[in-house]
Amino acid sequence: MASHEIKAVIFDLGETLLNFGRVDRGALFKEAARRSYEFLRQEGQPVGPYTRYLWRSLGSLRMRAFLSDITGNDFDSRAVLRAYGEKKGFDLTEEQWRQMNWLWYEPLCEIANVEPTLAQTLTELRDAGLKLAIVSNTFVNADSLEEHLVREGVLDFFEVRMYSYQFEFRKPDRRIFIEAAGRVGCQPAEIIYVGDRIDKDVNGSTGAGMTPVLKTAYTNEGKKVPAGVAKIDRIAELPQLVSSINHQRLCGTRS
């Protein structure tokens, strides 16, 4: 019988690799709107009064989020911003649209933190021969997310990066996990999936045949962890956990 040694680790983003904690979403949205509005004004775009810009942007986001909840599909933030802007007569280059999308994300980036030893831990996992990847439910365009990962010094560890807005399904749909397994070139049983949500990450990866690992976060406080699911407080615990799992599987195969 095959031992299914762990050969890959796939990560969620929010509250897993990037820690945001409980945030004041209203304050963050207003700050993002202010920055993007000032950028448009400086570029001479017909942006109109700030208050109107703020509330129309909020209304558009809420509508898109509502539709996502109904359809189960995430939207591309930059595509939505561009459609809205072109309707209002904004004339921006590709680089300016990218900058606009970043300004909407930047306030969230500024409050985020990662473990001080994250790069060291990822290096240890990679040097052990493990493939590393990201699968995240998000509507934030990849350009902004990956700029954030660049600033944290960890983007290059992840050859495979999958964001739900790029697909017609999202976690906990097993299809996104199966797609990820194919892209990293491993069987699901050879993959650990690390995330903070029991409903999206643990249940979804389990359903796809992966080994789930739950990272401690406010999103799972007080919730019952399913039997047999490993829980970690820090990403730094993963090298030892992978080693332990592989040892147990090897011993189980021999017996």
User: Which pLDDT tens digit goes with each residue over 175-193?
Assistant: 999 999 999 999 999 999 9
First to last CA, the chain: 11
- Residue 253 pLDDT level (bands cut at 50, 70, 90): low
Looking at the fold, whether 13 and 129 belong to one and the same domain comes out as yes
Sign, CA dihedral 31-110-195-181, equals: positive
Name residue 218's amino acid. Y
User: What pLDDT, in 10s, does the model give residues 229-249?
Assistant: 999 999 999 999 999 999 998
Strands 211-215 and 191-195: parallel
Find where tokens 């007569």 sit. Answer: 89
Domain-terminating residue out of 59, 90, 111: 111
Q: Identify which of 156, 152, 210, 162 has the alpha carbon closest to the alpha carbon of residue 19.
A: 152
Looking at the fold, whether 165 and 200 belong to one and the same domain comes out as yes
Looking at the fold, whether 96 and 174 belong to one and the same domain comes out as no
Domain-terminating residue out of 61, 76, 111: 111
Q: How far apart are the C-alpha atoms of 103 and 47, rounded to whole Å?
A: 15
222 occurs within a structural domain = yes
Q: How far apart are the C-alpha atoms of 120 and 107, rounded to whole Å?
A: 26
Asked if 218 and 15 count as a contact pair (C-beta separation under 8 A), the reply is yes
55 occurs within a structural domain = yes
Angle between helices 142-151 and 77-87 (to 10 degrees): 120
Q: Identify which of 22, 19, 23, 24 has the alpha carbon closest to the alpha carbon of residue 215.
A: 19
Looking at the fold, whether 134 and 15 belong to one and the same domain comes out as yes
2 occurs within a structural domain = no
Residue 72 has a CB neighbour count (10 Å cut-off) of 11
User: What pLDDT, in 10s, does the model give residues 92-145?
Assistant: 999 999 999 999 999 999 999 999 999 999 999 999 999 999 999 999 999 999
Mean pLDDT of 199-225: 97
Asked if 184 and 158 count as a contact pair (C-beta separation under 8 A), the reply is no
User: What pLDDT, in 10s, does the model give residues 43-77?
Assistant: 999 999 999 999 988 888 888 877 888 888 899 99
Looking at the fold, whether 225 and 118 belong to one and the same domain comes out as yes
73 occurs within a structural domain = yes
Looking at the fold, whether 106 and 120 belong to one and the same domain comes out as no
User: What token pair was written down for 6?
Assistant: 């762990």
Looking at the fold, whether 42 and 103 belong to one and the same domain comes out as yes
Residue 84 has a CB neighbour count (10 Å cut-off) of 15
Asked if 224 and 39 count as a contact pair (C-beta separation under 8 A), the reply is no
Looking at the fold, whether 127 and 248 belong to one and the same domain comes out as yes
Q: How far is CA 211 from CA 31, 97, 99, 234, 242, in A?
A: 39, 39, 38, 17, 10
The confidence score (pLDDT) of residue 143 equals: 96
Name residue 54's amino acid. L
3 occurs within a structural domain = no
165 occurs within a structural domain = yes
- Residue 1 pLDDT level (bands cut at 50, 70, 90): very low
48 occurs within a structural domain = yes
pTM over 0.85: yes
Looking at the fold, whether 64 and 141 belong to one and the same domain comes out as no
| φ and ψ at residue 214, rounded to 5 degrees | -95, 125
User: What token pair was written down for 172?
Assistant: 């906990």
User: What pLDDT, in 10s, does the model give residues 6-23?
Assistant: 999 999 999 999 999 999
Q: Give the structural domain span for 125.
A: 8-19+114-254
211 occurs within a structural domain = yes
